[in-house]
Structure 1
Amino acid sequence: MTILALQKVTLAGLVEERGVILQGLQRLGCLHLIPLKPKPEAEPDRPSGAPVESAYKALRWISDVATKRQQVRDEHSFDFDRVVAEALHNRQRLRDTEDKKSRLQRRIEALMPWGDFQLLPQEYSGGYRFWFYQIPVDQQRQLQALDLPWQMVHRDNRFSYVVVIAKQEPDAALLPVPRTHTGAVSLSELQAELIRTEIELEDLLSDHHALSRWIYLLSRNLARVEDQSALVEADQGVWQQQGLCLIQGWLAERDLPRLQAFADAQGLALVAEEPSFEERPPTLLENPAPLDGGQDLVSFYQTPSYHAWDPSRIVFFSFALFFAMIMADAGYALILSLFLARYWKRMGASEGGRRFRRLTTVVLATSFVYGVLVGSYFGIVPQTASLAGSLKLLDLNDFDSMMRLSIGIGSAHLILANLVVAMRLRPFPHNARPIGWSLAVAGGFTLYLSGVESGASLTRLGLLLLVTGLLLVLLFSSRRPVKDLKSALLRLLDGLGGLTQVTKMFGDILSYLRLFALGLASSSLALTFNDLALQVKQALPGAGLLVAILILLLGHSINLGLGIISGFVHGLRLNFIEFFNWGLSGEGYPFRAFAKKETEL
């Protein structure tokens, strides 16, 4: 549907000009390169891509500050390698220092009950040593039987902190617990070391903040480094022999005139050919701007095969519907809309952010409309006489109706998946199998409705659709040609094997009941928090109002969070598992244009 047609193009030129050719192709930015020779192994001490990876780590680190310094834009004062090294060194030292601070705080906390003391060297103590024990209070009486000098230095409501004096460690059977290792460093020394560590940590944080002045130049030069790395990698895949070089790649058919103009300007030979069915070209998706958010949803799970079809538009709308049914509350949709409005401008700073913004807008609008239809506003159901009550057309507590709605949506979703496949496999009988499944699902749902409404005509129609669909699956699941009785029997056996997927189809349709179940759970939980807050308010006059407000805020926040997670996970799951299993076969890989990144900054 929106998978762009590609051409496999080959450019031929002189070996000594390949650097200029590759730079021009990188500026053109429309070719997915195909290596014509294996990539050389990286040297053990110089792993491929290490400078770029290190620079990205450094950029992420210096960008992770709340308030950034004034950006330096003078290239003459910028040393790329030095800034990367300083940023990575700062990150490692900061992490090590934070770990050291945590260790010191734990040691000080553990040593506090024992007090501030220093252990004497053994030559001054006559060979006697101190042995420390943290003994539970209920076992303290066992010390009375200890035939060694001991002293309790501290006691709290749980433990007694006891020091035993002996030349050798007392036998473990004499005391109820193993000894405590306090270490040889005193409490005052640990506290002084903690102060020094905190000062060092402040200096490192200041350095981290100061490094943020290089974000602009590091980003710009990082693009250059990455472009150069991509050029080196591209050059490694160029075929060279007898003074000639060949460069091959995949190109969108619409960009062929641009590449032809480039080849003519460079004096290159250009050959373009259609991809064969055995080849696996990359997949280049393109959707209109209002619907391109579905493209990101699809790519989140897998990239469709080039020879398949693009489900982005269907996933776009079905995800919005599924999320709305799981959220099932107009009030929650309004709250999320306020967050969307708050970050609207920030999300528009990048193309990916704009796509996500458009998707979120449609999802929240659908959620609000569905919340109005089910009459739920933070779990509050409006009065029938009110305007909001008159707009309520669905009742979440009407289990039979909501189950029919969920199963109907699931049936329609899977019928649509099979019909799209049937359109791509036409003419008949090549597409008989997906048509058969579509008819079988429609027939099964019709029979389900006839059982609810007791309609004889619906029953006959459902049986007709179901039997016709299953016969098509039985007769056309196999691709074996019928030559004799044996091949006919084998074809029939393949058809019987195809019919075993009836249970899978049945289970997949029932899986859509989660839309009703999760929506009902969200509504019930909101209602429960409302009732609990009301009961607390009535039971505790005065202070009960504050407690009730806290219950409402905390409860609805939890419910909203659960709704977002459930809507996202299950809304995508029904598309990726149930829908894709019946509508898509094979997985592809994305189109990666060989293009400059410096110009994007």
Structure 2
Amino acid sequence: MSIARLQKLSVVGPQAEERPALEALQDLGCMHLLPLAPPPDQPEDVPDRGAKAALQALRFLSELPDPRRQLRRDPDFDILTFVPRVLDLRDRLRETGDRRDFLAHRISEVTPWGDLIFPPREELAGLHLWFYKLPLKERAALETLEIPWQIVHRDSRFHYVVLIAHDEPDPALLPVPRTHTGALPVSELQAQLEETEIELEELAAERHGLTRYLDLMRERMSLAETRAELDYARRQVLHDDGLFAVQGWVPEDRIGAVGEAAQRLGLAMLTEPPAGQDTPPTLLKQPEMRGAGRDLALFYQVPGYRDWDPTILVTVSFAVFFAMIVADAGYGMVIALITGALWGRLGATPHSRSWRRMIGIVAAATILFGVLIGSYFGYPLPASSPLMRLKIMDIDDFGTMMTLSIVIGVLHLVLANLLGARTRWGSTTAYASLGWCVVLIGGLGVWLADPGTALRVGSAGLAGAGLLAILAFSSDQPLDSPKGWFWRAAGGLQGLAGAMGAFGDVLSYMRLFALGLASASLALTFNDLAGQVRDAVPGLGLLLALMILVVGHTLNFGLALMSGVVHGLRLNYIEFFKWGLTGEGTAFRPFARKEVQE
């Protein structure tokens, strides 16, 4: 549960060694590159990081529903030349399709005029033909024309009119704009359309034939990604007077490996610890079995380099919140059964196994909480059941469940402020975080204690002391001048303004009770409805009741899953991170080679 300590590492050498140096760094896969070269003048010249072209080519071929039989081995297959070929085919298909659509539209527009073949220009004595599609109701507009005209065709909607004039007629002469028919006759357009459709079929056949390489392409994608990463890195390198320099952040435990590579290539290397103004990327050091928790922790916000790793806390709190929202042991068992059915598929990679473990933790927490409140698909077990002895709460006991939700919320936010104070330790603002801990605990004591008791009085005093600490320490402005005192006081007042936010954040945890009650109530409603139908309809009622139970609980299960995921994560991302993390960081992205899968 830690954020890896990094060093800023610079490698310098002659330009002749640039490519070997970058390839060596890529093999090590431990450097987060920093740009040393000046940015391009044009934004479109900024290099893409990743095999964007290869992914586009793969998507273009995989969109076909019936790919050809896949080739497993082809010694001549080279993805670096195959990708441009596929993208060129994609562009030609797009251009040919556009040309086909244009020709089809042009033919539909020109056909009513007939197969027009224009005479040579000199035979018209300088006159031109002007074409108009005139609605039938506008027929009277032709009678006022002072230039020759002729209706050459008529359908249910339009008169197709040709005017003869030296210059284009005034646009106000007729109530419709002029129609552009083009210089080619319909027969020529139809011939071009036929040729275009044949070309389109040939290109489509070529595309279909290339789908036989999909599996090989997926296997070789890593090679394209490696090349793209190398091209991206070369754009970050600084060149000056025959030398090159590359810089990046490297974990402290990999500095030695980089040093050995630099020494082997005869390069100079310099390491520096992060300075106060530096913002190193964040690299969470977690075993692979916690990969799912790391994904959840980084999904919404990357903690800053100088913050703490929220992986384990997010995993535990998410499981607890999910269990309280679903609030049914039966639904927890369904999750466990689905996980068991997908056990082998979820164990294909270490990362998928971490997600299998996460789902197992969530299922176990849901079953445990469902047992504690005695809910099994909305039904309570008989009082004689051994499991009912484990029931210690009732979801319908509003007072107990509301208190439980508020207590969990206060403890969660207190933990967040303690971790925030630890991050800020050495600054006066750390005492403000501790002040918030005191305020939250004192406020909880005031709410729980009876009026007039020593507990309530003591809790109120505790909360007041916390507010004084917030007022005094919310700003780290030095007090060496009247101006400093002013800004310290202003910062304290601003900190106190967060009291309403803290109150609202605590109340946000009421959703644990509210959503859990909604899930349990909906399950109970479907159970009652099924029972009523069974009793009201003899014979067929049992089948109808089973259908209501299946459909109803499936719907409720889906809603409970969505609520558990969305709100279980929301309480971590919004309330917990707000008080616990001091800022947002940048994820560590290593410059690494992708392994080629054979």
TM tier, shorter chain? Answer: 0.7 to 0.9
Deviation string 1:363-416 (CA, Å, 9 cap, x unpaired) is 111111111111111111112221121111111100010000000000000000
Task: Please identify, of 504-513 and 19-28, the stretch whose mean Cα deviation from structure 2 is larger.
Answer: 19-28
1:523 maps to 2:524: no
Residue 2 of structure 1 aligns with which residue?
A: 2
Residue 310 of structure 2 aligns with which residue?
A: 311
Residue 337 of structure 1 aligns with which residue?
A: 336
SS in 2 for 1:383: coil
1:431 maps to 2:430: yes
Residue 273 of structure 2 aligns with which residue?
A: 274
TM-score by length of 2: 0.77
Task: Please identify, of 248-257 and 358-367, the stretch whose mean Cα deviation from structure 2 is larger.
Answer: 358-367
List aligned pairs for 1:174-213, cutoff 5 A: 213=212
Residue 469 of structure 1 aligns with which residue?
A: 466
Residue 496 of structure 2 aligns with which residue?
A: 499
1:434 is displaced (CA, Å) by 0.5
Residue 21 of structure 2 aligns with which residue?
A: 21
CA distance in 1, matches of 2:91, 2:388: 58
SS in 2 for 1:431: helix
List aligned pairs for 1:235-274, cutoff 5 A: 235-274=234-273
1:63 is displaced (CA, Å) by 5.3
Unaligned runs of 5+ in 2: 101-111, 115-135, 137-153, 159-196
CA distance in 2, matches of 1:543, 1:351: 50
Task: Please identify, of 490-499 and 218-227, the stretch whose mean Cα deviation from structure 2 is larger.
Answer: 490-499
1:430 is displaced (CA, Å) by 4.8
573, 577, 590: which one pairs with 1:576? 573
Q: 1:240 to 1:366 in 2, by over 3 A?
A: same
List aligned pairs for 1:558-577, cutoff 5 A: 558-577=555-574
Residue 542 of structure 2 aligns with which residue?
A: 545
1:595 maps to 2:555: no
Is the 2:67–2:212 Cα contact (8 Å) retained in structure 1?
A: no
Is the 1:286–1:292 Cα contact (8 Å) retained in structure 2?
A: no
List aligned pairs for 1:361-376, cutoff 5 A: 361-376=360-375
Among all aligned residue pairs of Structure 1 and Structure 2, give the percentage whose two residues are the same amino acid. Answer: 41
CA distance in 1, matches of 2:78, 2:483: 79
Residue 124 of structure 1 aligns with which residue?
A: none
Residue 358 of structure 2 aligns with which residue?
A: 359
SS in 1 for 2:574: helix
SS in 2 for 1:76: coil
List aligned pairs for 1:388-407, cutoff 5 A: 388-407=387-406
CA distance in 2, matches of 1:79, 1:262: 29
Q: 1:377 to 1:71 in 2, by over 3 A?
A: farther
Report the AA paired with residue 22 of structure 1.
Answer: L
1:417 maps to 2:455: no
TM-score by length of 1: 0.76
Task: Please identify, of 422-431 and 509-518, the stretch whose mean Cα deviation from structure 2 is larger.
Answer: 422-431
Deviation string 1:83-112 (CA, Å, 9 cap, x unpaired) is 775599689989x99xx9xxxxxxxxxxxx
CA distance in 1, matches of 2:520, 2:205: 46
SS in 1 for 2:76: helix
CA distance in 2, matches of 1:319, 1:298: 10
1:50 is displaced (CA, Å) by 10
CA distance in 2, matches of 1:92, 1:525: 56
1:436 is displaced (CA, Å) by 0.4
Residue 294 of structure 1 aligns with which residue?
A: 293
Is the 2:17–2:265 Cα contact (8 Å) retained in structure 1?
A: no
Report the AA paired with residue 411 of structure 1.
Answer: V
CA distance in 2, matches of 1:56, 1:583: 38
1:302 is displaced (CA, Å) by 1.5
Q: 1:211 to 1:579 in 2, by over 3 A?
A: same
Report the AA paired with residue 273 of structure 1.
Answer: E
CA distance in 1, matches of 2:210, 2:263: 47
1:562 is displaced (CA, Å) by 0.6
SS in 2 for 1:33: strand
Task: Please identify, of 83-92 and 30-39, the stretch whose mean Cα deviation from structure 2 is larger.
Answer: 83-92
Report the AA paired with residue 263 of structure 1.
Answer: A
List aligned pairs for 1:63-74, cutoff 5 A: 69-74=69-74
1:235 is displaced (CA, Å) by 1.4
Residue 115 of structure 1 aligns with which residue?
A: none
CA distance in 2, matches of 1:322, 1:587: 24
Residue 479 of structure 2 aligns with which residue?
A: 482
Is the 1:432–1:472 Cα contact (8 Å) retained in structure 2?
A: yes
Report the AA paired with residue 578 of structure 2.
Answer: N
Residue 120 of structure 2 aligns with which residue?
A: none
SS in 2 for 1:75: coil
CA distance in 1, matches of 2:487, 2:499: 20
CA distance in 2, matches of 1:231, 1:80: 14
Is the 1:473–1:499 Cα contact (8 Å) retained in structure 2?
A: yes
Q: 1:600 to 1:327 in 2, by over 3 A?
A: farther
Q: 1:80 to 1:12 in 2, by over 3 A?
A: closer
1:320 is displaced (CA, Å) by 0.8
Deviation string 1:424-469 (CA, Å, 9 cap, x unpaired) is 2235855210010000000000111103xx6823213312321221
- Kindly report the root-mean-square deviation, in angstroms, between the aligned alpha carbons of the 2 structures: 3.5
Report the AA paired with residue 540 of structure 2.
Answer: A
Deviation string 1:299-331 (CA, Å, 9 cap, x unpaired) is 111211112222121111111111111111111
Report the AA paired with residue 369 of structure 1.
Answer: L
Residue 119 of structure 2 aligns with which residue?
A: none
Report the AA paired with residue 541 of structure 1.
Answer: P
Is the 1:80–1:218 Cα contact (8 Å) retained in structure 2?
A: no
Q: 1:239 to 1:68 in 2, by over 3 A?
A: same
Is the 2:519–2:556 Cα contact (8 Å) retained in structure 1?
A: yes
CA distance in 2, matches of 1:27, 1:82: 25
Question: Aligned pairs, how many?
Answer: 507
Deviation string 1:14-55 (CA, Å, 9 cap, x unpaired) is 1111111111111111111112112446797x9955993232
Report the AA paired with residue 73 of structure 1.
Answer: R
CA distance in 2, matches of 1:92, 1:412: 62
CA distance in 2, matches of 1:91, 1:554: 48
CA distance in 1, matches of 2:301, 2:394: 36
Report the AA paired with residue 441 of structure 1.
Answer: L
List aligned pairs for 1:134-173, cutoff 5 A: none
CA distance in 2, matches of 1:78, 1:492: 68
Is the 1:42–1:48 Cα contact (8 Å) retained in structure 2?
A: no
Residue 379 of structure 1 aligns with which residue?
A: 378
Q: 1:76 to 1:489 in 2, by over 3 A?
A: closer
CA distance in 1, matches of 2:417, 2:50: 48
Task: Please identify, of 240-249 and 564-573, the stretch whose mean Cα deviation from structure 2 is larger.
Answer: 240-249
Unaligned runs of 5+ in 1: 101-118, 122-130, 132-164, 170-196
1:516 is displaced (CA, Å) by 0.3
Report the AA paired with residue 75 of structure 1.
Answer: P
CA distance in 2, matches of 1:561, 1:332: 10
Q: 1:406 to 1:600 in 2, by over 3 A?
A: farther
Residue 183 of structure 2 aligns with which residue?
A: none
